Amino acid sequence: MTHKSKITTLLAILALILAGCEKSRQRDEGVGLLDTEQRKAELLRQIDGKYESPRAHYELGRLYHRDGLWSKAEASYRVAISFDPVLWDAESGLVKLFQDKGDAAKASSSAQAAMDRASYSAAASLGLAKAFQKDYLDEWALKCHGQALQLAPDSAEVYKHIGYYYLSKRDNARAEANLRRSFSLNPYQPEVAGELGRMGIIVQVPRLEVKPKDQQAAAPPSK
């Protein structure tokens, strides 16, 4: 076989491989599209049977959002929020939607409105922070952390959540500072102690003292 024929054969083989990869990709995309459409149909049936289902509206909104159907996604998110004002995932989804559309002003105003609704408690603020974090809205997640600290400045739970947030961002210095503070406020947290231990900081969870029960009930008074 000549050098030229070898090159021709190799190119033919390469073309066949690329064609096979393209067909496989198209087949996978087709399956994914079919699954998405089937899920949309399932959710629409659920909503038809029980319209006041916030989770169904939210999940449908996520699918519309992913497909770039902005108006349908926004409508679904808003219906979900109307039925469950503390469905923080839907609040975050709405902010992310405006961000993805390139409408920074609406994204900001929607995020601030959600924070205002969550301002009644530290737990609610943390719930919204988690939703923002899942949607990679870190700026607003951090603002929610600040709001939670203002509402509960001595909460071990708030500091723990913030510590885990920084751990997920691989910011070990801030993670350590917040986890240490959490542990100092409540040393009965073995999971926090374990996380600090993995950082090389040895702490000890106090043992709970269990008082022994009376071995014998008091004798009844004699008649």
pLDDT of residue 29: 45
Q: What is the mean pLDDT of the chain?
A: 87
Count of CA atoms in the C-beta half-sphere (13 A) of 115: 21
Average pLDDT over residues 93-112: 97
Query: What is the share, in percent, of the chain residues with pLDDT greater than 70?
Result: 78
Rounded Cα distance, 37 and 48, in Å: 16
Whether residue 142 has pLDDT greater than 90: yes
**pLDDT average, residue stretch 22-28:** 50
Which residues, at least 6 apart from 57, have a Cβ–Cβ distance to it below 8 Å? 47, 76, 77, 79, 80, 83, 90
Q: What is the pLDDT of residue 31?
A: 41
Residue 111 has pLDDT above 90, yes or no: yes
- pTM of the predicted model, to two decimals? 0.76
Separation between Cα atoms, residue 95 and residue 136, nearest integer Å: 11
- Distance CA(166)–CA(148), nearest Å, equals 16
**What average pLDDT does the segment 138-153 reach?**
98
Whether 87 shows a pLDDT value over 80: the answer reads yes
Degrees (nearest 5) of the Cα angle 90, 95, 97? 90
**Cα–Cα distance, 216 to 2 (Å, whole number):** 101
Q: Measured at the alpha carbon of residue 36, what is the angle toward residues 33 and 38, in degrees to the nearest 5?
A: 110
Q: How would you label 52-77 residue by residue, b for 16+ Cβ within 10 Å and e otherwise?
A: ebbebbbbbbbbbbeeeeeebbbebb
Burial class (CB in 10 A: 0-12, 13-18, 19+), 128: buried
